[in-house]
Amino acid sequence: MIVALPFAAAGLAMLGFILVCMVRLSIGPTAADRAVALDTINTLVVATMVLLGAAFGLVVLMDVALVYALLSYVGTLYIARYLERGLS
C-alpha cells in the first residue's frame, strides 16, 4: 500500500486537533458547549477521512466522508432542536 506522506502527516495532525477538541467535549460546562465541540469534531473527522483517503489511495474513505458529513449535519440539527425545547 502506497502512502503519500504529506497527506498522512496532515491526517495525523488532524487527529491531534480532535484530541484538543475532546478536552472541551469533556469539560464543557453546559450541554451546548459539548454540542459545539462535537460539531467541530465532526468537521475535523470529515477532513481527516478525506486526507487519509488520499494518503492510502482509498476512494472508499471519501465516500464514507461524504455520508458522514450529511449524517453528522442531521445529528447536529437534532441536538440543537433538543437544546431548544427538550425531547419532543
Partner 1 sequence: MNGLIYAFLAIGAAFNALGAVALIRFPDVYTRIHGATKCTTFGSIFSILAVAVYGIAQGGGAGGTMAVRAFLALLFLLLTNPTGSHALARGAHRSGIKPFRAVVDRLEEVGHGHREVP
List interacting residues with partner 1 (CB under 8 A).
4, 6-7, 10, 13-14, 17-18, 20-21, 23-24, 30-33, 35-37, 39-40, 43-44, 46-47, 50-51, 53-54, 57, 59, 62-63, 65-66, 69-70, 73, 76-77, 79-85
| Backbone phi and psi for residue 18, each to the nearest 5 degrees, phi listed first | -60, -40
Q: How far is the CB of 88 from partner 1 (least distance, A)?
A: 11
**Cβ–Cβ < 8 Å for 61, 47:** no
Where are any strands of DSSP class E within 3-77? none
CA distance 10 to 7: 5
Nearest distance from C-beta of residue 25 to partner 1, angstroms: 9
DSSP letter (8 states) at residue 30: S
Between 1 and 31, CB nearer to partner 1: 31
